[in-house]
Amino acid sequence: MRVSGIRGLAAVAIAAAGALLFAAPASAAPLTPVGELDVNRYVGQWYQLAANPAPYNLDCVRDTTAFYTLQGDRDVRVENSCTTITGARRGIVGNARINDTASLHVAFPSVPFQDSLDGPSNYIVSYLADDYSWALVGDPTRISGFVLSRSPVVDRAVWQEIRRVVEENGYNSCLMLTSPTTEGLQEIRPLCTV
């Protein structure tokens, strides 16, 4: 399925966002973090390759990135940015506080209900490639979910591995949408079709 134009993008995003309410069974166990996370290796530039649609990222249509910088023992500066429907870049800066090895509380000062530096974990690293080349992160209930990669381009074998890992971690790969990058995949489509 290829999405063209703002209307097509909005229709897919709204339908997928609505379907996410039913994505994970109520009895599903909370998302499990990886056993070990080397924060020094994890910080740096990440490219979003796929994500569950959410109201805060509906206007992000290309080159969604996260840049993490370690600040002290427990805090990571979070700089998220994307190219919008209009072609402009927009971003937000926040803080991620490490609660446990691979469980963090991400806060953004200007976002209601997400402005406290301390709180329950809402960013769980549930999968991390051995070489830290890509990761699957989300919140404990799987409402949010993001596939992050060190590269904006991955080959077909990695896409298939991503889909397998997403599904093994309790996500519906047909409800998670790809995130176009200038150098990589050029269209928004359900991850299950990649």
Please state which of the ranges 42-51, 59-68, 104-113 shows the lowest mean pLDDT. Answer: 104-113
The percent of residues above 90 in pLDDT, for the chain, comes to 76
Q: Indicate if the pLDDT at residue 21 is higher than 90.
A: no
Residues 136-152 have pLDDT tens digits of: 999 999 999 999 999 99
pLDDT at 112 (0 to 100): 77
Q: Are 17 and 172 in contact (CB under 8 A)?
A: no
| CATH value of 5-193 in 2.40.50.100, 3.40.50.300, 2.40.128.20, 1.20.1250.20 | 2.40.128.20
* pTM: predicted TM-score of the whole model, two decimal places: 0.86
pLDDT at 188 (0 to 100): 94
pLDDT at 183 (0 to 100): 95
Question: Which of 82, 90, 42 has the alpha carbon at shortest distance from 180?
Answer: 82
Q: Is 112 left (phi over 0), alpha (psi -120 to 50) or beta?
A: beta
Residues 125-181 have pLDDT tens digits of: 999 999 999 999 999 999 999 999 999 999 999 999 999 999 999 999 999 999 999
Q: Are 102 and 125 in contact (CB under 8 A)?
A: yes
pLDDT at 93 (0 to 100): 97
